[in-house]
Amino acid sequence: LAKLEEAGPLDLLLTSGGVSMGEYDVVRKVLERHGEVVFWKVRQQPGGPLLFARLGGLPVLGLPGNPVSSMVTFFLYGRPFLFRLLGRTDPPYGRMRARALTPFKGAKGKKVFRRGVLSVAEGTVRSTGNQSSGVLRSMAFGNALVVLPPDQDASEGEEVEVIPLTFVP
C-alpha cells in the first residue's frame, strides 16, 4: 500500500497476476483486507480469475497471471473500462460472424474465447492451434477471438461469432 501512495494520483490501477487462489496470489488478499472487491471471477475461459475492486476511490482491475488470460481479459474488460474513463462513446471492439474452417471446443458452464486467424475478405476463421492460456503463440498468431456460449462447441463449417483483435480505432 505504501508503494501505491508513492505513485501519486491514479485513474486506474491495473495489475497482472496475484488474483487467483494460490498461496502467492497476494493482490486479491490485500484488496479484500484494505479495499472493496466488487467482483472476483468470471465464468469464462480463458481469464476466469479476473478481479475488479476499489482501493479508497481508486478502481483496480486485477488481470489473471497467465499471459493469454491477461491479454484476453484486458481486451474484453480493461479496454471498455478505459474507453468509459476517456468519455468515448464508440464501441471498444467489434463483432462479426465467420465460417469456422476448424472445430472450436467449448467448456462446460463457461463462455469461451478461442484464439483464431480471421480472414475478413473470405469471412472465415481458423484456430491458432493450442488454446492453453499459457501458450502466448495463440495471441501472437491470432487476430480474433471466437466466442462460444457455455456448453457449446463449434464444428468445421459452422458460423461463429468473432471479435476481431484490433488495437487501433
Q: What is the pLDDT of residues 113-133, one digit of tens each?
A: 999 999 999 999 999 999 998
Mean pLDDT (10-residue bins), the chain, 169 residues: 74 91 87 93 96 93 94 96 95 96 98 97 97 89 97 98 83
Burial class (CB in 10 A: 0-12, 13-18, 19+), 94: exposed
Residue 30: all three cell numbers together: 490485500
Task: Work out the percent of the chain whose per-residue pLDDT is above 70.
Answer: 96
CATH dotted code for 2-85: 3.40.980.10
pLDDT at 25 (0 to 100): 86
Parse the chain into domains and list their residue ranges.
Answer: 2-85, 96-164
Burial class (CB in 10 A: 0-12, 13-18, 19+), 131: buried
Residue 117, classed as helix, strand or coil, is strand
Q: From 3.30.1330.10, 2.40.340.10, 1.10.10.10, 3.40.50.620, which CATH number describes the 96-164 domain?
A: 2.40.340.10
pLDDT at 63 (0 to 100): 97
CA 32/CA 106 separation, integer angstroms: 32
